[in-house]
Amino acid sequence: MLSFFKRSISAADLALVMWEGTRDWPTKHGSDLKDTFEGSCELSIEEVFEEFVYFLAFSTDYALWCQLKESPAIQSAVRDAFAVHVEQFAKQRNCRPVPSGAWMDDSLIWIPGETTDAGHPLTNLRRRFDLYAQSLSRRHDRSAGERTAHLLAAWCGTLDITFILCVTPLFLGRWNGIQAILGSFKIKP
């Protein structure tokens, strides 16, 4: 039966639901990833899972930014509330710095260099998000998921194409999931 009435949800409650799905992804879906890639990355599997949380947090924030453009007050309220959760996670986990690095010519491959000083967790988080955003402005002949997956792979210490292919659909999946959620609720700022 088609319903013409959407349930209401506050921006803060919506952000919490989105955050819980992001934070809990490794626990709910990480076993296959662990079985396939544990030992093939320079990072421990726990550190890889932490990087996945940051990747999914960026994907969520980007989807919210794009899909709520027509409602700036709601967009701001939801993204700000979501950011509070992401920042709290980054502080609790002492978000590691992103190594220095550079893009290989006009490719999607980002070659990490030396890891910089530890820095502040929120500075490290912002640097991650800034580089993910930069990746979205490169190679528009490739999907957004593939463009961001290459960075995640580099930060996890692998160039394994299987890893990149595994991660790529998560970006679009997050986009589609958020689109479905936003279509189901009337959001109150």
The pLDDT value recorded for residue 101 is 75
**pTM confidence score:** 0.90
Q: Give me the long-range contacts of 172-179 (CB less than 8 A, separation at least 24).
A: 172/143, 172/144, 172/145, 174/56, 174/59, 174/60, 174/63, 175/59, 175/63, 175/67, 175/144, 177/21, 178/18, 178/60, 178/63, 178/64, 178/67, 179/63, 179/67
The pLDDT value recorded for residue 150 is 87
Distance CA 187, CA 102 (A): 40
- Per DSSP, helices labelled H in the chain are 11-23, 25-37, 45-67, 72-92, 121-136, 144-156, 161-184
The pLDDT value recorded for residue 110 is 66
| Tens digit of pLDDT at every position of the chain (189 positions) | 444 677 899 999 999 999 999 999 888 887 877 777 777 787 888 898 999 999 999 999 999 999 999 999 999 999 999 999 999 999 999 999 887 777 767 766 666 666 666 779 999 999 999 999 998 888 777 788 888 998 999 888 888 888 888 889 988 899 899 999 998 888 888
The pLDDT value recorded for residue 4 is 60
